[in-house]
Amino acid sequence: MSGITRRQFTAGAVSAAVLASLTACSSDEKGGGGSGSTIVVASVNNAPMVTMQKMSSAFTKETGIKVKFVMLTENDIRAKIQQDVAVNGGQFDIVTLGTNDTGTYLDSGWTEPLKPMLDDQSAKEKKAYDFDDIIPAVLPAYSSAKKGLAAIPLYGESTMIMYRKDLFDKAGMSMPEKPSWDQIYDFARKLNDPSQNMTGMAIRGKAGYGENMYIFNTIMYAYGAQIADMKWQPEYTTPEMAAAWEFYRKLQKDAGAAGASSNGYTETLNLMSSGHGAIYYDATVSADTFEAPGSEIRGKLGYAMSPSGPGKGNTQTTGGWGLAIPSSSKNKDAAFKFISWVTSRDYVQQVAKRYGWLSVPTAVRKSTYAEEGYRKLAPYADIALHSVETVSFAHPAVNKTPYTGNSLPNISEWSGLGQDIGQLLAGYISSNQSTQSVLASAQADALKAFQQSGRIKK
């Protein structure tokens, strides 16, 4: 899952030898092509991007443009991309950027604005591409306020509740479409039964800005809290923040899995998919796993919106990955052709035909959710679409914030600060530490980070 951050660049380019060892041709590149140019794509190696790699042979067959890939884990690929584009290295023609990377890259001159390239399409190309089909709420996460569209999203995600409908029916309970966190706690506690190997609430607890903080920050906003005020003064010692931390610990202790502080995305996904979780709260894309052929809980699930709290409703997040063109690319035209091909409506159809509807990119195009083939396999389609359409990337909290972004805040210091606070939160849920003492430490960490970055004076 996305652990989005805008890392501050540390000088030092990647050596040619290292890059050569990392760059490998697409395993599916042999499906035709010609003697045209070759583009290099630096990509995170998650499922939709692996599908993109496999599908590239079709693009080569259509255009004669060959495609090579550098496929690495999220943290590794972020470092390789930034180390190259920040020094105008020219190793890559396309890079994958997370929702909170794009503004920094474009504003820094590292990547090209894409709107002019879209505008230069012919009338026939514009009609086929259908930019207006992209969900409007998704675009701010891939844009710069100053320079416009920085990347075109390939796939996205939000957050929602996924629950065992069969267990709810057996217990005589009914999940609202828009539950509150208090309701989720009551349901989870009633269904929590360690003696029967049933966990009431499968929710992340493992430390990390892309692990527990990815989930907890949605709870934080639901309780009316936020990371900083408009003057960048940290807000970790407010009553709203304390209430959010105390609720999260109560939920984990009373209804969560044993050893919650060791459970990240993979562990909670496995817990739920193996049939040992009653309620699951995480990324919408998890539903694809639960409803896939062979899943032990396929057809047993119900879906609901991200829970509201005493401060705010609609607390779901936005995440995902987009494709951008580095300014140092020597093959910008070919790169844009690939980006416009792989983010098109036709690409969705091609993936569905080749790999099935549960493999298509989601949370980007409205038309995907209207497809009968997709809806038949995805009973969560309407909830997932509504989650994506109603998220506010620009206004995550009740009060105004100096940053954008939801559970993945658009703060350059977040890679370090989010990790530090994630460690505090993981320790907090597995101990009896006082809320005030832990939050005082979080406040101090945030203050130090914002002072070091120059956001506030020492």
- 351 vs 343: CA distance, rounded Å: 11
Q: Which pLDDT score is estimated for 6?
A: 29
Q: What local confidence, expressed as pLDDT, does residue 28 receive?
A: 39
Quote the mean pLDDT of the chain: 90
Confidence tier at 13 by pLDDT (50, 70, 90): very low
What percent of the chain shows pLDDT beyond 70? 92
Q: Specify the pLDDT at position 32.
A: 29
**Dist CA 263 CA 366 (whole Å):** 33
Q: What is the pLDDT of residue 15?
A: 35
pLDDT at 10: 31
pLDDT of residue 410: 86
pLDDT of residue 18: 34
The residue type of 398 is: V
What integer pLDDT is reported at residue 9 of this predicted model? 31
Please give the domain boundaries of the chain with CATH numbers for all domains.
Answer: 16-157+320-378 (3.40.190.10), 159-316+394-452 (3.40.190.10)
pLDDT value for 210: 86
The residue behind tokens 């660049």 is: 9
What's the pLDDT tens digit per position in 292-308? 988 999 999 999 999 99
Q: Which residue has the higher pLDDT, 296 or 18?
A: 296
Give per-residue pLDDT as tens, 239-278: 999 999 999 999 999 999 999 999 999 999 999 999 999 9
pLDDT at 190: 98
Reported as a single tens digit per residue, the pLDDT across 124-133 is 999 999 999 9
pLDDT at 103: 79
Alpha-carbon distance of 451 to 435, in angstroms, equals: 24
Among 5-9, 35-39, 361-365, name the one with the lowest average pLDDT: 5-9
Q: pLDDT tens digits for 384-405?
A: 999 999 999 999 999 999 999 9
